[in-house]
C-alpha cells in the first residue's frame, strides 16, 4: 500500500501529490491565545462519509507541548459513529537519543 511505513521513509520519498489528498470540504479556523493555537470546525461540523457518518467535528490545540486532537463523526440522526467519546487524543513529543 502506498501509505505503509510512510513516516519511516526518507524525506524525499514522503512527497504527496496534491491530487492524492482530495478536495478540502471544510476549514478549521485557528486563533492564538496565550501561546496556544486553538481551532475547530464550524458549528455543525463538516461533510463526511467516514464509517457511515454525515458530519465530522474537530477541536484542536497546538502548543509547544504537543497536539490535542478531538475528532468525532456523526450520522444523520446526530449519533456519534466514530471518534473518541471522552476527549482528545494527546500527541506529545518524545526524546530521541542521537546515534
pLDDT in tens, 12-46: 888 877 776 666 678 898 999 999 999 999 999 99
Mean pLDDT of 6-14: 86
Q: How far, CA to CA in Å, does 99 sit from each of 5, 92, 96?
A: 21, 22, 9
Q: What is the pLDDT of residues 82-94, one digit of tens each?
A: 999 999 999 999 8
Give the Cβ contact number of residue 4 at 10 Å.
7
Q: Which residue has the cell 458530519?
A: 55
Record the pTM.
0.70
Amino acid at each position: 500500500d502506498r501509505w505503509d511505513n510512510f513516516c519511516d521513509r526518507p524525506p524525499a520519498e514522503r512527497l504527496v501529490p496534491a491530487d492524492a489528498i482530495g478536495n478540502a470540504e471544510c476549514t478549521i479556523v485557528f486563533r492564538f491565545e496565550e501561546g496556544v493555537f486553538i481551532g475547530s470546525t464550524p458549528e455543525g461540523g463538516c461533510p463526511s462519509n467516514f464509517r457511515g457518518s454525515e458530519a465530522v467535528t474537530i477541536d484542536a490545540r497546538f502548543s509547544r507541548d504537543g497536539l490535542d486532537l478531538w475528532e468525532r463523526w456523526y450520522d444523520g440522526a446526530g449519533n456519534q459513529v466514530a471518534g473518541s467519546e471522552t476527549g482528545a487524543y494527546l500527541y506529545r513529543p518524545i526524546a530521541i537519543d542521537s546515534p
